[in-house]
């Protein structure tokens, strides 16, 4: 079963339990019973290179302890996020059983692409991501996590640490001709008696050089968190 079809089946099941679209929808509490965020991006502030720091997110939805079912709106981005983060064909949903213990969150943000700078090409691309977190006592909390064909600066990367080179087009910074990047991709899956969470994290750091080979910067560059789902049991 593909990532998209898997989410469709789960979302259909959620709707069936919840009684149809919009049934029991409620405003999330300060500590949601279930939450799903399609993507969050954090850009490092580098004043010497004219790079402004930024933090934003998109495709976020949550439900409180009162329960209900809600779907994520991926057109609802925090201000400025569209300059750095995009989704193609995304879906996501959360469910909390009214007056019951079942909580579930799923996220399939489709193809997630994140830029280091609005002037550059997408530096980090995750063509397929799917996560799920579920609590249904007395069963143990469970998580699912899948990511396929991830790339940074056009180079395929897998779980763990990968080193890649990036050209100026991917970096989008006027004085920078190339970068030597360190990429760390982590598929987070955690469960405890009281909670479950799953997400994909891509952290990029490295050294940036000008056309003459002079190093202009070395350090953290950006972090993308995709398909972040969490439930409290």
Among 5-9, 89-93, 148-152, 187-191, the range scoring the smallest mean pLDDT is 5-9
Please report which confidence band the pLDDT of residue 3 belongs to, taking 50, 70 and 90 as the band edges: very low
Calculate ∠ Cα 119-120-123, nearest 5°.
145
pLDDT at 125: 98
Q: How far is Cα 115 from Cα 84, in angstroms, rounded to an integer?
A: 5
Domain coordinates in residue numbering, the chain: 3-232
Secondary structure E strands in 64-194: 68-71, 85-88, 91-96, 103-108, 111-114, 124-126, 128-135, 142-148, 151-152, 155-156, 160-167, 178-192
pLDDT at 7: 41
3-state secondary structure of 93: strand
Calculate ∠ Cα 7-10-12, nearest 5°.
105
Among 3-7, 24-28, 47-51, 99-103, the range scoring the smallest mean pLDDT is 24-28
Please report which confidence band the pLDDT of residue 6 belongs to, taking 50, 70 and 90 as the band edges: very low
pTM of the model: 0.86
């Amino acid at each position: 079963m593909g990532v998209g079809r898997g989410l469709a089946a789960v979302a259909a099941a959620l709707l069936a339990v919840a009684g149809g679209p919009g049934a029991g929808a409620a405003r999330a509490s300060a500590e949601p019973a279930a939450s799903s965020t399609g993507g969050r991006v954090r850009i490092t502030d580098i004043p010497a290179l004219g790079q402004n720091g930024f933090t934003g997110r998109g495709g976020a939805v949550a439900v409180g302890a009162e329960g209900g079912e809600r779907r994520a709106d991926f057109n609802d981005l925090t201000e400025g996020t569209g300059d750095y983060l995009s989704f193609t064909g995304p879906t996501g949903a959360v469910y909390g059983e009214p007056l019951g213990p079942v909580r579930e969150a799923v996220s399939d943000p489709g193809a997630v692409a994140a830029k280091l700078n609005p002037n550059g090409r997408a530096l980090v691309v995750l063509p397929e991501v799917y996560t799920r977190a579920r609590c249904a006592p007395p069963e143990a909390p469970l998580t699912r996590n899948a990511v396929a064909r991830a790339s940074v600066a056009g180079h395929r990367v897998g779980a763990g640490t990968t080193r890649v080179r990036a050209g100026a087009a991917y970096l989008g910074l006027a004085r920078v001709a190339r970068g030597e990047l360190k990429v760390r991709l982590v598929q987070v899956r955690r469960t405890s008696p009281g909670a479950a969470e799953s997400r994909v994290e891509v952290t990029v750091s490295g050294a940036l050089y000008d056309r003459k080979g002079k190093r202009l910067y070395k350090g953290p560059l950006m972090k993308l968190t995709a398909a972040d789902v969490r439930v409290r049991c």
